[in-house]
Each structure stands twice: as C-alpha cells, then as structure tokens.
C-alpha cells in the first residue's frame, strides 16, 4: 500500500512583505505549507514503521513545482506526482480538489491520502473533504495520531475540548493538525539526492473532466490592521485593571 | 554572472537555519556562559551532515562542496559562533586529510568525523612559533615503522574531542617539517584546560602535550617534508570557515540591530524615526552585504581553486576584510542598542566579544595582508 501526501506550493510566508495591506510576492521563494509538512512527516513515519510501501508526494501548481517538490522529497517523500498548469497556483479549492482527485486515480495502490488540515496560505480547509467526496472515500479530519491496522486506520481526532478516536476503512482521506508531529529537518545528503528521486509530471490538460468554473471568487486579500490602543498606565496595578477590563486576563 | 542560489543551496541554507533556530539559539547564551557546546548539538549537526558538507560521499561526506559549507556555516554561526568555530576548525583538519591523505588514510580517518561521531583538529601553532613555521619545536623521530613525536601545541581547537588531529613536527633526521595524522587520546596525548578567551565561547582552544607519541609511519600525511605545503593549503581552506563564521556573526548583528530599533520606543514611536539610527542601520546593511558576497565567492573559489597561491590570496583578503568588518558591524549594532548593548541580556554584547576574535585567529590580520601583497607583487 502506498501513502499519497497532497501538498500545496505556496510563497514562503516568512519572506512576504506587506505594502498598503497587500502582500508583495516579488522574489519570494516557493515552499510548502507547514501543516502540509506535518502530513508528509506522518506519511514518512508510517513508511518507517513498515506500514506503507512508498510515500508519494502529489501536488498541483505552476511549473516551479518541479523545483519546489525537492523540499518534500528531501524530507522523506519517495516519489512525486506533479500536475502542472499555468492557472493552478491560486486556483480555488473546488478546482484543485478535482485535479488532485484525478491525480490520485493515476497512482497505483493508494491506501491513504494525507493532507494538512488547511493550506499554508488560504487555509480554506476544503480540499481534503472535496477529494474524499469525488473519490467516494471516507474522510477523517483533525487527525492528531494515525495508526494503521490491517485494512483500517485508527485515528485520534484532536477537537477543541476532547479527543475522539475513530476507525476508518482504507482507502481513506485523512487531514492532520500541526500537533501530530515535528517535521524532520532534511540532511545535506537527503537534499542533494532529492532531485534524483522518481518524478512524474503531467500537464493539467491531460486530465479529463475537470470543471474549471470557479465556485468561489476571492474579492480581496488584505493584511489585518493592528490598531494600538495607546493606553498609558502609571503602575502595575493600573495595567492589571486595564487588562482585566479588556478580558485579557 | 548569476547571483541566485539553486534550490538545493536554498534548502541547505534553510535546513541549517532551521536547526540553528530550533536547537542552538535557545541555548546560545548557555553555551557562552558555560564555554561548552552540549553533545546533543554535535550529534544533531552530524545527523544533518554538517560535519562533512564539502567532502566526498565515499569518505562519509555529503559531497556538497565549500559553497554550501559557507551557506550552512553562516546560519549556524549566526546563532552561536562557538558552534561555528568547532565546525570550522574541524573542517580545516579534515580538509588537510582530504587533500593530502592516501586512499587508506581517508577511508580510515574521515568517515566518523564526517558524521560528527568524531571531531577533527589541526595542530601547528606552538608556544614559540606564532606564525613562523621555521621555529617549530615539536619533533618526530623515526624508529622502524613508527615516528615518535614530542612537543607542545598551543591554541588547538577541538583538542578534547576524540578524532584525528593533524600534527606538524620537525623530522629529526632531515630537519624538515612533516604532517602526521594522530589519533587524539592515544598513549602520550594529553591536553590542558580550555583557554579562557574573550569570545566565541563553546569553541574550545586548548594546549596539546605530546609525550613520546608513537605514530605508525603510514600516518605520515602527504610525504616527508610536505608540512609547509600542507599548512599553506589547509590554512587557506580554513579561512573559508572563519570567513563564513564571521559572516554569520555579522548577519546576527544586523538582525539584532533592526529588531531592537523597530521595537524600542521613544515618545510613542520606534527609534527608527531618528536619522542617526537609520544611518547606522543602513551602514550595517551595506557592510553585511559586502561580507556576504565575499564569503559566498570564497566558497565558490574553494570548489574551483586551480592556483594555490591565487586561492591563498583570495582566502586571506576575504578573511581579513570580513573579520575587520564584523568588528565595526557589531559595534554599530551595540550603538543602536545604546547602553543596553553592553548588557549580557542582549545578544549584541556577545556578538561584539565574538567579533573581536576573528582578526586574531587562523592567522593575524597583518599576516593576511602580507599574503595578499606577496601574491599581488610577486614573491622575492
């Protein structure tokens, strides 16, 4: 059984500057979202525990993906399956879900599809559920731990006030939370070998039946304004009072 | 001319930065205070292959070359120059074995150090020699299939860690200087307490005492009388590490100065509103940029060096320039902090102490200028 990890190529958020509340993407390198890396690490750990044969990285985006995916292959992915198209970077969730689901169908013996709970940029949290619907597979969200036993997965879901343990038949889609693990830092040797790992690249046009009609339109994308209250306090007691009155403590 | 980094270079830089941020930065102050790098840091760096970046895979290295070594070292040293110093001196010692060692010597002595399981050293300096190789007093006496080495080596990095140490000694028979691979902690090998130095704490400098140390003749490095050539070559490559280490300190000073200036408020506004602060920040940025590209270029040259003398000149001028710049850069960063910059609560205090070390280690500043002038003018 192979584990497929779907990852989204995004600009490195730490290097984005904000100008007039708009993000500036000039010369910002591309990477994968941090929770996507948690999903990858979860897949790699299953493989290291001999519960999966291969970890295959699945991604859809611009042609830069061929370079970006080296990061995931250095961090433990065995192979990559990339769907490249000019308009895939920033495409909305319903389109990406169709594209990724079509990609999953082209990969042999997929027992598990892992994703981050939300992408590193928009965090819509829709893609995992949409893929599950298209494939007709069960889906479990907010996974904080995954165990594989035979033809089922036992997943601990991390909820706001509780943990829920569920069983799900494979193949399944599981979306993970950031607390599931600490992604490994790849070694220099792993980084240098990443570019030599097997990689299949197909054009988006090669996939049939993708409905490219966007269901959601992003109207604007603005950085939040942080209004400072500029309250001056004379002593600690006054500071504590102010914080209490704002329900901060 | 292309100044962009490949994806692999970016990822190596990022991996080193991530390790430094997660594991070294949180204990950097502790390393400074205790003058010791915890073993788990050495282990972690080894797991990332940072102890063997430039060396071939067949000897346990990563095969990424010196250019990538500079990129990684910059990030590690930005968190702790003591950790950077360990890596730099280690790579200097191992570089000598890599260049001049026989196939058997490389296979025997490079694998464990490349993985961080051992740490290499390089022992030339003696109490009376300074930078003059002719004054070397350590002796090597041939007895059958062995050499017997006696002498004292001064300011030797990593001397307490197990691993190979390249020792320079005058052969009693010929009076010529040769280099030998010695296994630290063999019989007759002992060390002093670490020197208490101004900065770069955690990077240990010790004296090494060699008392009738018996070294197999097969451990002679590069052939009899090759000591001076090995010294020149290895020290030049060692300056790649020192330059990258200084660059890391410069980068850290820049980060600290900008962070402080943006956060420190004066009458409700950050002190970046003052022109004096803005000019200091700009000057720091200018100097760091110059240092960065000189260090990156030196890493590239180390991977493509053809003429040893030209490379020695480039290494000397780069090391001297960056190490001089970092003194000014860190002082400017202290200035931005005002009085707070002198307090141990702020990282710039440590950065300033670390910065002053660079001009004196691995060849003092004047020696670097002599090397540069000698190559440019043509030696007599």
Pair (B222, B236) in one structural domain:
no
Pair (B322, B253) in one structural domain:
yes
- Smallest CA–CA separation between B11 and chain A, in Å? 7
| Residue B187, domain extent | 121-226
Q: Is B248 a domain residue?
A: yes
Question: Which residue of chain A is at minimal alpha-carbon distance from B56?
Answer: A189
Res B380 pLDDT > 70: no
pLDDT tens digits, one per residue of B6-16: 999 999 999 99
Q: How many CB pairs under 8 A join A and B?
A: 49
Q: Is B25 a domain residue?
A: yes
ipTM confidence: 0.95
User: Which of A71, A188, A196 to mutate: most B Cβ within 10 Å?
Assistant: A188
The enclosing domain of B331 has a CATH number of 1.20.140.10
Long-range contacts of range B231-234, CB-CB < 8 Å, 24 or more positions apart?
B231/B124, B231/B133, B231/B168, B231/B177, B231/B179, B232/B308, B232/B312, B233/B96, B233/B99, B233/B100, B233/B308, B234/B92, B234/B93, B234/B95, B234/B96, B234/B99, B234/B122, B234/B166
The enclosing domain of B215 has a CATH number of 2.40.110.10
pLDDT tens digits, one per residue of A87-140: 898 899 999 999 999 999 999 999 999 999 999 888 899 999 999 999 999 999
- Smallest CA–CA separation between A51 and chain B, in Å? 24
Pair (B298, B252) in one structural domain:
yes
Q: Is A78 a domain residue?
A: yes
Percent of chain B with pLDDT over 70: 99
CA distances for B355 relative to B77, B321, B328, angstroms: 11, 12, 9
Res B22 pLDDT > 80: yes
* Domain boundary residue, one of B83, B114, B145: B114
Pair (B252, B336) in one structural domain:
yes
Pair (B368, B342) in one structural domain:
yes
Q: What is the pTM of this model?
A: 0.94
Which residue in the list B74, B118, B126, B362 is annotated as catalytic?
B362
Per-residue pLDDT averaged across B294-317, rounded?
96
Surface of B (35-54) touching A: CB under 8 A: 47-50, 53
Q: Is B68 a domain residue?
A: yes
- Per-residue tokens: B59: 């000897």
Pair (B249, B369) in one structural domain:
yes
Pair (B248, B171) in one structural domain:
no
Query: Cβ separation of B68 and A188 shorter than 8 Å?
Result: yes
What domain count does chain B have?
3
Q: Are B105 and B181 in contact (CB under 8 A)?
A: yes
Query: Cβ separation of B8 and A192 shorter than 8 Å?
Result: yes
User: Which of B18, B22, B43, B48 to mutate: most A Cβ within 10 Å?
Assistant: B48
Q: Is A83 a domain residue?
A: yes
Res A220 pLDDT > 80: yes
* Nearest CB neighbour to B7, from listed A67, A185, A188: A67
- Among A22-26, A235-239, B143-147, B217-221, which stretch is predicted with the lowest mean pLDDT? A22-26
The enclosing domain of A40 has a CATH number of 3.40.50.620
Chain A residues with beta carbon closer than 8 angstroms to that of B50 = 188
| Residue A144, domain extent | 2-217
* Domain boundary residue, one of B114, B139, B167: B114
Cβ of B290 under 8 Å from any chain A Cβ? no
Q: How many CB atoms lie within 10 A of CB A159?
A: 12
What domain count does chain A have?
1
Q: Is A247 a domain residue?
A: no
- Per-residue tokens: B232: 């020149």
Pair (B220, B232) in one structural domain:
no
Query: Cβ separation of A189 and B50 shorter than 8 Å?
Result: no
* Domain boundary residue, one of B168, B194, B226: B226
């Amino acid at each position: 059984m192979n584990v497929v990890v779907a990852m989204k190529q995004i600009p490195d958020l730490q290097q984005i500057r904000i100008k007039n509340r708009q993000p500036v993407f000039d010369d910002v390198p591309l990477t994968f979202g941090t929770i996507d890396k948690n999903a990858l690490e979860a897949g790699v750990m299953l493989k290291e525990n001999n519960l999966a044969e291969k970890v295959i990285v699945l991604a859809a985006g611009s042609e830069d993906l061929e370079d970006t995916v080296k990061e995931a292959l250095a961090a433990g992915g065995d192979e990559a399956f990339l769907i490249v198209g000019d308009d895939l970077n920033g495409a909305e969730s319903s389109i990406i879900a169709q594209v990724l689901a079509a990609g999953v169908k082209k990969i042999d013996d997929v027992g598990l599809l892992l994703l981050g709970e939300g992408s590193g940029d928009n965090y819509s949290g829709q893609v995992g559920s949409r893929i599950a619907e298209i494939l007709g597979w069960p889906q479990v969200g907010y996974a904080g731990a995954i165990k594989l036993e035979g033809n089922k997965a036992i997943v601990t879901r991390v909820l706001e006030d509780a943990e829920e343990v569920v069983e799900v038949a494979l193949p399944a889609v599981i979306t993970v939370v950031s607390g599931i693990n600490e992604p490994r830092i790849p070694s220099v040797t792993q980084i240098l070998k990443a570019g030599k790992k097997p990689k299949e690249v197909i054009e988006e046009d090669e996939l049939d039946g993708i409905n490219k009609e966007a269901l959601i339109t992003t109207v604007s994308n603005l950085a939040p304004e942080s209004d400072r209250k500029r309250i001056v306090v004379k002593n600690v007691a006054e500071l504590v009072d102010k914080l209490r009155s704002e329900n901060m403590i | 001319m292309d100044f962009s980094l490949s994806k692999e270079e970016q990822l190596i830089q990022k991996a080193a930065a991530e390790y430094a941020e997660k594991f070294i930065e949180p204990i950097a102050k502790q390393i400074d205070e205790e003058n010791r790098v915890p073993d788990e840091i050495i282990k972690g760096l080894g797991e990332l292959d940072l102890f063997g970046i430039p060396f071939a895979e067949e000897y346990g290295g990563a095969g990424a070359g010196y250019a990538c070594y500079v990129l990684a070292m910059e990030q590690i040293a930005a968190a702790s120059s003591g950790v950077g110093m360990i890596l730099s001196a280690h790579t200097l010692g191992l570089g000598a074995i890599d260049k001049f060692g026989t196939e058997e010597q490389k296979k025997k002595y490079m694998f464990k150090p490349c993985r961080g399981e051992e740490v290499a050293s390089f022992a030339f300096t003696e109490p009376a020699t300074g930078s003059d190789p002719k004054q070397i007093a350590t002796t090597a006496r041939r007895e059958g299939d062995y050499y017997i080495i006696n002498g004292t080596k001064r300011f030797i990095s990593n001397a307490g860690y197990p691993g190979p140490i390249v020792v320079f000694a005058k052969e009693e028979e010929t009076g010529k200087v040769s280099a030998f691979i010695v296994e630290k902690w063999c019989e007759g090998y002992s060390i002093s307490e670490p020197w208490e130095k101004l900065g770069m704490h955690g990077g240990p400098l010790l004296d090494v005492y060699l008392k009738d140390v018996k070294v197999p003749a097969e451990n002679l490095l590069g052939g009899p009388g090759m000591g001076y050539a090995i010294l020149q070559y290895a020290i030049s490559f060692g300056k790649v590490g020192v330059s990258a280490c200084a660059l890391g300190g410069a980068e850290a000073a820049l980060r600290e100065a900008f962070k402080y200036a943006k956060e420190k408020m004066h009458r409700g506004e950050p002190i970046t509103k003052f022109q004096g602060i803005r000019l200091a920040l700009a000057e720091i940025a200018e100097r760091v940029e110059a240092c960065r590209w000189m260090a990156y270029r030196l890493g590239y040259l180390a991977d493509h060096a053809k003429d040893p003398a030209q490379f020695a000149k480039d290494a000397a001028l780069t090391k001297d320039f960056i190490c001089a710049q970092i003194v000014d850069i860190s002082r400017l960063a202290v200035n931005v902090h005002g009085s707070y910059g002198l307090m141990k609560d702020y990282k710039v205090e440590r950065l300033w102490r670390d910065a002053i070390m660079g001009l004196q280690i691995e060849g003092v500043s004047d020696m670097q200028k002599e090397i540069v002038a000698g190559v440019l003018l043509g030696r007599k």
